[in-house]
Amino acid sequence: MTDRDRFFELLAKKKLNNCTLSDIAEINRLAKEYDIDLDNLSQLDHIFNLQFVAAERPSVTSAENSWLKFKEKLKEDKQIYIPADTDDKKPKYRIMRYYMAASVAVIFVLLGIYVFVFQNHDADKLNIISTQYGSKSKVEMPDGTQIWLNAGSKITYDNQYGKKTRSISLEGEAFFDVHHDPKHPFIIHTKNLTLKVLGTAFNVRDFKEENNSIATLIRGSLEVSFPSKPEQKIILKPKEKLVISNKNATRKVTADKEHIEMALSHVNDVATIDHMIEEIAWTENKLIFRSKTFEELVLDLERWYNIKIEIQDEAIKSKKFTGAFKNETFFEALDALKETYAFDYKFNKATNTVTIKTQL
């Protein structure tokens, strides 16, 4: 066994609280000989602390389905139960089980038909698809439209979807590749925007904690209007991006004086990093940011990595950052940001919070 193998074996033993005094002495000796900082092995701790799960472990839903079947069985149980030690009667018990299974299956089929028929009349039933912080999701709608949902976002649609129009609500950020169907306009409602399309690909971003709402068109055409001012309409052309400032939205304004602060710009090729358009890079698992203030970037990082971030350094909030992350862990990302503007941070594992401080 090489020294290196021995070293890692000893660390494993130590992790299991299985070390003898001479083992610990040996770890210290090896660490000294090879100049390893024993305090700096937290990575290894993280790996030992990882949780694993069997790939084929039944989900909560399938456990619940199994329970429903089991519960049915309990109802009939008094009539069919024959103690297991009477082996000769077992076949009968088995046959009964098949009848049971068959009748349960029939019940489920009937239930399925009932739900199907019932739901068709139930126009108000809402379907909700949402993502937690730290995770993204891709959905294919019944009409073939594809939706990529970024972290911390939610789409909602009712059962009228696809009948006359294809209408959905969005909170957060999503990229849409809408199946072309002129007879059924695709309409997206966000807090600050209404978007109407026929068949196109575009990105919408409207997080309630952010100051701007942004629509970016990749191909096709897109009609944007505003819930607060429905008569105003803007048509976007491919590679155009519309940014709406919502800073006034919280202020009380009278309907006639209200105006919407907006900026129309081009997604030009200069703005692409790694041959990818910044606004939709997240669909490929890349977090790209161009001269974003640290305060804005932190909101992205919180959603992206599912970690709470507290800024205690006022000066850094307005500093602007440009960069791209793909496979970096959260701490690799933080360390990279530190290269641009020095700061210190502290991680509290219990509250899953990182505190950003002025570097001393």
Partner 1 sequence: MSDNHLDNIDFNAGSHQDEEELFKTIYLEFYPSLIVFAKGFLKEIATAEDIVEDVLLKLWHNRSAIYAIKNLKLYLFVATKNACLNHLAKNKRMDYESLEDLEVAILKVSHSPEEAFISNEQLHKIQEEINKLPTKCRAIFMLIKEEGLKYSEVAELLNLSVKTIEAQMSIALKRLSEAIQHDFPSFVVKKQNKSS
When the beta carbons of 60 and 126 are compared against partner 1, the nearer one is: 60
The identity of residue 144, as a single letter, is G
Question: Is residue 13 involved in binding partner 1 (CB under 8 A)?
Answer: yes
Measure the CA–CA gap between 290 and 271, rounded to whole angstroms.
Answer: 8
Owner of token pair 């530190």: 338
Binding-residue total with partner 1 (CB under 8 A): 59
Residue 1 in the binding site for partner 1 (CB under 8 A): no
Phi, psi (rounded to 5 degrees) for 149: -110, 120
Among 67, 99, 118, 133, binds partner 1 (CB under 8 A): 67
Nearer to partner 1, 197 or 301 (CB): 301
Partners of residue 273 on adjacent β-strands: 276
Q: Given candidates 39, 71, 209, 256, which one binds partner 1 under the rule CB under 8 A? A: 71
Q: How far is the CB of 222 from partner 1 (least distance, A)?
A: 34
Q: Nearest distance from residue 275's CB to partner 1, in Å? A: 21
Q: Tell whether residue 102 is a contact of partner 1 (CB under 8 A).
A: no
Confirm or reject binding of residue 79 to partner 1 (CB under 8 A): no
Residue 45 is given by DSSP the state H
Of 65-73, 201-209, 249-257, 259-267, which segment contacts partner 1 by CB under 8 A?
A: 65-73
**Part of the chain binding partner 1 (CB under 8 A), chosen from 42-50, 137-145, 191-199, 220-228:** 42-50
Residue with tokens 């193998």, as numbered in its chain: 5
Q: Which is nearer to partner 1, 71 or 121 (CB)?
A: 71
Tokens of 356: 């950003």
> How far apart (Å, rounded) are the C-alpha atoms in residues 208 and 169?
14
Q: Which of 21, 50, 126, 255 binds partner 1 (CB under 8 A)?
A: 50
Of 12-20, 150-158, 184-192, 201-209, the segment contacting partner 1 by CB under 8 A is: 12-20
CA distance 230 to 247: 19
Residue 99 touching partner 1 (CB under 8 A): no
Q: Does 118 bind partner 1 (CB under 8 A)?
A: no
Cα distances from 244 to residues 175, 273, 289, 333, in angstroms, run: 18, 24, 18, 29
Binding to partner 1 by CB under 8 A, coded x per residue (else -) over 134-163, reads xx----------------------------
| Stretch of 61-69, 118-126, 175-183, 338-346 contacting partner 1, by CB under 8 A | 61-69
Give the CA count within 13 Å in the CB-facing half-sphere of 277: 18
Token readout for 169 is: 């609500």
How many other β-carbons are positioned within 10 Å of the β-carbon of residue 260?
15
Neighbours of 334 (CB within 10 A): 19
> If you ran DSSP here, which 8-state letter would residue 234 be given?
E
Residue 140 amino acid letter: E
Of the candidate residues 52, 91, 257, 269, the single one contacting partner 1 (CB under 8 A): 52
Which residue number, 47 or 117, has a Cβ lying nearer to partner 1? 47
**Planar angle of CA 154, 155, 159, nearest 5 degrees:** 145
3-state secondary structure of 325: strand
Q: Which residues bind partner 1 (CB under 8 A)?
A: 2-5, 7-9, 11-13, 15-16, 18, 34-36, 42-44, 46-60, 62-64, 66-67, 70-71, 73-74, 77, 81, 84, 134-135, 305-307, 327-332, 349, 352
